[in-house]
A and B are shown apart, each in its own frame.
Chain A
Amino acid sequence: MTLHAERAETGQSGARPLYQADEQGWFGGFGGRFMPEALIAALDELTVAWHDAMADPAFTAEFEQVLREYAGLPSPLFHATRLSERVGCRVLLKREDLNHTGAHKIRNVLGQALLTKRMGKKRVIAETGAGQHGVASATAAAYFGLDCTVYMGAVDTRRQALNVARMRLLGAEVVPVESGSATLKDAINEAMRDWVASVDHTAYLFGTAAGPHPFPSMVGAFTRGIGDEARAQCLEQYGVLPDAVAACVGGGSNAIGLFTAFLDDPDVAIWGFEAGGEGVETPRHAATISAGATGVLHGARTYVLQDDDGQTVESHSISAGLDYPGVGPQHAHLAATGRATYVPVTDDEAMQALALLSRVEGIIPAIETAHAVAGAIRVAEELAATKGPDATVLISLSGRGDKDMGTVMEYFGLGDQPQEGDA
């Protein structure tokens, strides 16, 4: 295995775990903090406050309590028996789709909102693509009594009108962003523009494990419960570690949340599935690690979809939540070291997996999540062939598909034909 060689070669020197960031936020050659000086003090303050909070048992206890009582965690680990029969080995689903607000994202926002309260700030801002992080942020803001502004690309506010309504119902202000391509990356740009002018009283609830230090590490710390719980549940329920774990990767928050617990388990293969869109051989995809190049986007050095001049190229995915031309720097590092493997899954493959999981398990996953299901099925079939029925594949079922029914209806031609003028 190349990853074993890599680990032996790199060594476990010093106190810092091999795959975590150093004090400047470097994961190997990725990450860092490529940001305007005006925001450096705030990022330093956030780093200190976060470290301080994580070392405070009162903070971690309160975080665990809100996750348990408000978000409904820990989520169950579910043996998908009919899917297992089909692929020939055991498939386990970490049911993050059952969380409050329907996805893993609630973990991150509750952590960041709790930290915001601790820092004495009264307002939060967030970016959102499909609206899931925006809804989670609006939810956390309502729960903690914070003002909340969500930036969302104007293209996305039209595509995801239901989530816009949810955020407004929860008391958040939703600002459509018309600049640039009017999608997620532009929403991030606009949130940063807000933050540079409001940083003394506002916290930026970053939605994924990307961006400048400390966001990749902090978001990873708040989402790592996915993997910590799943690892313990797997050992407890089945007495083994999985042979492989799998998650979808856009910015990469659910993936890093799952992967972190398994990084030091050399026999657990780690798989990330990127949005292959219409195919990585076409210009229409969001497979940043598979088809991007090293660059700097939104404060971190990572893989970026860009042209020869370093201009960001618009990504495409049928899943708005994976439709981002960058990726969290820790994933870039895990890919570069070979510890994790990242593979694209096309729109069509994801939609077929979504239909399959719906029919054989009665679970409608988010389209984002369906990318992980599609990729994990391939992995499981290979493992079944080499290791037999005792092999175990564990998938982060990161979100539920209710929000995607419009896309699903259109894709599969389900239901009555929509009337003229329907969204």
Chain B
Amino acid sequence: MSVRAAFDAARAEGRAALVGYLPAGYPDRDGGIEALTTMVRAGVDVIEVGLPYTDPVMDGPTIQAAAQAALEGGVRTADVLRTVEAVAATGTPTVVMTYWNPVERYGVERFADDLASAGGAGLITPDLTPDFAPEWIEAADQRGLDKIFLVAPSSTDERVAYTTAASRGFVYATAVMGVTGARATTSDLAGPLVARTRAAVEQQGTGLPVGVGLGVSTGDQAAEVASYADGVIVGSAFVRTLLDHADDRRAGLAALAALTEDLAAGVRRG
């Protein structure tokens, strides 16, 4: 299934999609796959596999810690692609979220080929905007891969329109000004950003879904975001759950499943 199909299926059920993130290779390669497939079984609609990177400027301490542990454990780009292959085999659409340099180093064409072969649906690129992505856009278009770019509260209307026009699969609205991480309260910047993004999408007539990431960690927060967004993106809360159970994997997976179920119920209440 494509990312768009997963959003459309959720929309047909009158709810938002739940998008879940974990970095590949944490706690190790197989453990990461097990964690992601646990999230799939417990109700995540779209999976984001993070490619751990040495200089993650958009990530808060939680994701930094897991990514650093994965790198210290020796995770390689090839392991990320193997993780994608294993997760995509469940039938749940799977995208890679990555800073740009590892893709550039791997080779944009080669990465696109190998991602497509692994069954991956596309890429989320937090430090690559469409104006600096001609190579990736061409490679993605040739292979039908999703190009998920980000919009932010600071984006001008012009840039929101430009970014939604360049995106495929969904557009990722980062609804707080700040790094990734769970937050106790949802942002008052989210509503206006989603409204501006939707207006751009409507004008373009693409029906592109809008996913929102702003540090959601509970079902209630997910419900609130689901009331105005097409997708609720959760990352740090999943990662935190694994970090908190670093010495007991079985308990970690159980907690991960429980969190997923809570969030999945949340997007159905929204």
Contacts and interface: CB of A to CB of B under 8 A. Distances in A.
Interface of A: 24, 32-42, 179-180, 185-186, 189, 192-193, 196-197, 199-200, 293, 295-299, 301, 304, 306, 308-312
A180 B53 CA distance: 10
B144 interface: no
B129 A312 contact: no
Nearest to A35: B127
A34 B132 contact: yes
Contacts of A36: 57-58, 126-127, 150, 152, 174
Contacts of B150: 36-38
B188 to A, nearest CB: 14
Contacts of B104: 295-296, 301, 310
A116 B114 CA distance: 46
Given A42-B154, A180-B54, A180-B68, A37 B163 contact: yes
Closest 3 CB pairs of A and B: A310-B105, A38-B152, A197-B178
A310 B103 contact: yes
B64 A179 contact: yes
B178 A295 contact: no
14 contacts: A32-B132, A35-B129, A36-B150, A37-B163, A40-B159, A193-B179, A199-B177, A293-B105, A296-B101, A297-B55, A304-B101, A310-B102, A310-B104, A310-B105
Contacts of A297: 55, 101
Given A297-B101, A309-B106, A38 B54 contact: no
Interface in B12-69: 53-58, 60-61, 64, 68
Interface residues of B, number: 40
A306 B105 contact: yes
Given A38-B174, A297-B101, A311 B156 contact: no
B170 interface: no
A296 B106 contact: no
Given A36-B127, A199-B154, A192 B57 contact: yes
Contact of B105 (A42, A179, A309): A309
A282 B77 CA distance: 25
B154 A41 contact: yes
Nearest to B56: A189
Given A34-B128, A40-B129, A311 B53 contact: yes
A189 B152 CA distance: 19
A41 B155 contact: yes
B131 A24 contact: yes
A24 B133 CA distance: 13
- A-side binding surface: helix, strand, loop or mixed? mixed
A186 B64 CA distance: 11
A252 B188 CA distance: 41
Given A180-B68, A295-B101, A306-B101, A312 B57 contact: no
A3 B77 CA distance: 39
A79 B154 CA distance: 52
B118 interface: no
A329 B214 CA distance: 33
Nearest to A306: B105
A381 to B, nearest CB: 39
Contact of B177 (A32, A186, A196, A309): A196
Contacts of B105: 293, 295, 306, 308-310
Given A180-B55, A192-B57, A310-B101, A38 B177 contact: yes
Contacts of A35: 127, 129
A185 B106 contact: no
A34 B127 contact: yes
B86 to A, nearest CB: 19
Interface in B178-229: 178-179
Interface in B53-97: 53-58, 60-61, 64, 68, 71, 76-77
B152 A309 contact: no
A298 B54 CA distance: 11
Contacts of B174: 36-38
Contacts of A192: 57
A144 B71 CA distance: 42
B149 interface: yes
Contacts of A193: 57-58, 60, 178-179
B102 A311 contact: yes
Nearest to A193: B179
A80 B64 CA distance: 50
A311 B60 contact: no
A37 B149 contact: yes
Nearest to A179: B64
A296 B151 CA distance: 21
A150 to B, nearest CB: 17
A217 to B, nearest CB: 16
B114 to A, nearest CB: 13
A111 to B, nearest CB: 24
B54 A179 contact: no
